Structure 1
């Protein structure tokens, strides 16, 4: 920031925006304050909407939502991008209800919604577990033609599934012409949440037949659906798929495997196999992540024993 202020010929709104973009994904509070002070000193806040919107996004990235809201309220003009930036920040903050409120305020201001604003507010609806607000957003999406977007469609599937409206999630899923790994994984997670492991397994098979490869989140979610000895055959099939793709050392997948084998009553066998292939460290972390501190400590002791 000092270098930026020292070179008069570089102190342009575009250079300021580039400076903000070069900062870490989650900048510090001090960095946000320094950038705000520089923008004020150079007169950008009063004269350049592009630079001010970039600063607004910077505050959201640094999780300084009160400051972001204050900056937004002081802006003499706002575009849809400005509104979307604030809505996106609130949707992922400690107060997601403010994203819903900002979206309503955006409509009252006569600014048309975008696919980005709708998908962001749907994220807030998930966190609020507010299916009614999500259904209203669904209507807005249909009215503006946003539901054809894979991003909005996936957000709708995720919202309905996590708000326990699985029928609505399935309907949106069926109506989508384009689906990606996130779309399939959202519905898999919905089946898991509704304790329908067989349907989750069938959906993953459909996913593979359609040419969409499951990812770490898909496998982790699917594994967590197997919770009884009757499910162990399905669980082992998924475990084999994980091994074929070389994903067995991922911490999320390993934690899901620990949970699955534990619920199915054969955790001891799984531990023996993992210990035999030098996965002790990851296995210990997986036990700790599953709240099995005693098992984690035992494995740590084994690792420290001399040969």
Structure 2
């Protein structure tokens, strides 16, 4: 706890910051009431406009400030985070009243010094209910809910504001049940009490209870405020409850609150969460003045509805309007870049982040790490991570997962070791990233070690996805019997993801018997899971069991399950070009096929031969060769070579796992053309350079 400097020392340190105090309060009263009112007006104007330095220059000219002027100046200093100046002024006051003590205590909390606030509270000669409420609010704000609770129950008297303060404290600290009990015991409730409980239930995951409270409030004739409506609309968005939300919207309009920022922003979010984004857009357009909050809500809404192009369009429109984005706006725009796998636009937003001074914002930097990692540019993701002045658990999880997905398993594990040096405790997501890294790099022993660490971590729970990764580690390496035994002894019940991991391993190692058992488990858990039918069919096909293939496909048809066709796409200059096997719909089809044929001839010079086993159709060899030659990823790569700048990296995305033949071909293409090719399939990123792949041909 900070020690207060002596009054004499403070006077010497800050003697230029305030007028000399009068020796008696009588002298202070020599200023006429008229002059006092004028000084108050001037000071209030400067403080309200955050011009505290000008307020100080005015204050030192006042011949004998009264207690109210001192208190105003103290509040101005703390608003500007100048706690030392406020403390000096408080010390040299000729006389203090409870209001000045309360202002100083509140200022300590606002400036982030709860210890000093606590000390001043205990030094107060007299306290009123505002003093008690201020200390309760402050302690709760800094997570000291136990202290706030003792203070509340130790208050000599409580008004409604004090009760509301404790209710809010409970809700803010996740103790909504205690808040509800206190709410029910309140002798008198006002609209603030009801609003605090509505917002508290919604923030703590019980939006339906929040809406029930709103109905009770209406029944009792209590008129909601704009804050009440905003909280209720947020609850409708989180429920979601579109019918009740529309009723609240009508009530907002009737009450005249539709133009207020919080209510209109909540309406935009409500309609977006209920998948009525056009209504969100209409609410946004009806606002006379758009601000960063309404823009952010609209951009978020487009993202929630999967309309990421429109989200980025609105983001850039916002920039052109001269409105500076906040950290949420930047992060949401970056999320849309991730969804579109558009690295170029992500880089442009990164430039905007730097230009607008968010280069140290942890929230935004974490989003940049994720964006680069998910767009296959792990090198730039690492640059952002290494340049961060501070990191939190999200930062470490993001870079570990990014390294795992981009073929840098050893680095992911090294980062985990470094993370422990900084005393950052891992969570479920950390362990999932580590297990994924081991799975993608044949690190079987390290995978077992990581899973054992997970089991021994008391604060981290084992989830089915952890077990699925462990099954993948064992199965992919050929230890199928051990993988089956692991599933049998799992600490949690195996789900579809676990059995799919085993089925995928059976596909790699052509184990028909275990594949049948795994597929049966999936059919029982999720009869409509298309991936299980396709994997099983492919396993049968690779083993030449065409009757079983036919039966599996007949089962799919009878259950209305449609196989998703394999497709690949490439994004260049904000335009996305998509290809399917044998696709001839592109304007450059002739040039693309000519490029594929040219590449095919070049590859043969390097000893490449088509791997026919990867075509799983019961057709003749000529048809298989044609199909493999014009797989979607090869067409996308050829297209990229045609229209991208020489020497630039080609980035291709695919919705399914890349086939072995395409993997071998693209690996050699990178050497033939001297270009880096990044291919993301349904499992991971493959970085092809100089005839090598980051996966080490193990994926």
Report the TM-score when normalising by structure 2.
0.38
Q: 1:26 to 1:228 in 2, by over 3 A?
A: closer
Q: 1:271 to 1:298 in 2, by over 3 A?
A: farther
1:118–1:152: 8 Å Cα contact kept in structure 2? yes
Q: Bigger CA drift: 281-290 or 142-151? A: 281-290
Offset at residue 102 of structure 1 (A): 1.1
Q: 1:57 to 1:226 in 2, by over 3 A?
A: closer
Partners of 1:228 and 1:62 in 2: CA distance: 33
Query: 1:90-142: CA deviations, max 9, x gaps?
Result: 22123232211111111011111110101111222232222333222211111
Aligned position for 1:187: 298
2:137–2:148: 8 Å Cα contact kept in structure 1? no
Aligned position for 2:210: 99
Aligned position for 1:289: 398
Aligned position for 1:117: 228
Give the number of the structure whose alpha-carbon radius of gyration is greater. 2
1:157 paired with 2:268, answer yes
Partners of 2:281 and 2:263 in 1: CA distance: 15
Aligned length: 296
Partners of 2:311 and 2:371 in 1: CA distance: 15
Q: 1:272 to 1:106 in 2, by over 3 A?
A: closer
Aligned position for 1:204: 315
Partners of 1:38 and 1:296 in 2: CA distance: 52
1:13 paired with 2:129, answer yes
After the TM superposition, which residues 49-64 of structure 1 pair with which residues of structure 2 at under 5 Å, given as runs?
A: 49-64=160-175
1:254–1:282: 8 Å Cα contact kept in structure 2? no
Name the SS of the counterpart of 1:225 in structure 2.
helix
Aligned position for 1:31: 147
After the TM superposition, which residues 106-255 of structure 1 pair with which residues of structure 2 at under 5 Å, given as runs?
A: 106-227=217-338, 231-255=342-366
Partners of 1:142 and 1:261 in 2: CA distance: 43
Aligned position for 2:200: 89
Query: 1:231-290: CA deviations, max 9, x gaps?
Result: 23222221221232343443332332233233333x244246548x75598599635136
Partners of 2:396 and 2:284 in 1: CA distance: 35
Offset at residue 224 of structure 1 (A): 1.1
Q: 1:198 to 1:79 in 2, by over 3 A?
A: same
2:233–2:245: 8 Å Cα contact kept in structure 1? yes
Name the SS of the counterpart of 2:258 in structure 1.
helix
Q: 1:281 to 1:300 in 2, by over 3 A?
A: farther
1:229–1:263: 8 Å Cα contact kept in structure 2? no
1:189–1:221: 8 Å Cα contact kept in structure 2? yes
2:360–2:389: 8 Å Cα contact kept in structure 1? no
Q: Bigger CA drift: 237-246 or 249-258? A: 249-258
1:29–1:64: 8 Å Cα contact kept in structure 2? no
Partners of 1:30 and 1:216 in 2: CA distance: 32
Partners of 1:22 and 1:282 in 2: CA distance: 27
RMSD of the TM alignment (CA)? Answer: 3.3
1:226–1:235: 8 Å Cα contact kept in structure 2? yes
Name the SS of the counterpart of 1:147 in structure 2.
coil
Partners of 1:128 and 1:211 in 2: CA distance: 34
Offset at residue 27 of structure 1 (A): 3.9
Offset at residue 302 of structure 1 (A): 8.9
Report the TM-score when normalising by structure 1.
0.82
Partners of 2:226 and 2:372 in 1: CA distance: 41
Partners of 1:173 and 1:282 in 2: CA distance: 35
Aligned position for 2:380: 270
Partners of 1:272 and 1:60 in 2: CA distance: 38
Partners of 1:280 and 1:60 in 2: CA distance: 32
Query: 1:40-63: CA deviations, max 9, x gaps?
Result: xx3x35xx3333333333333343
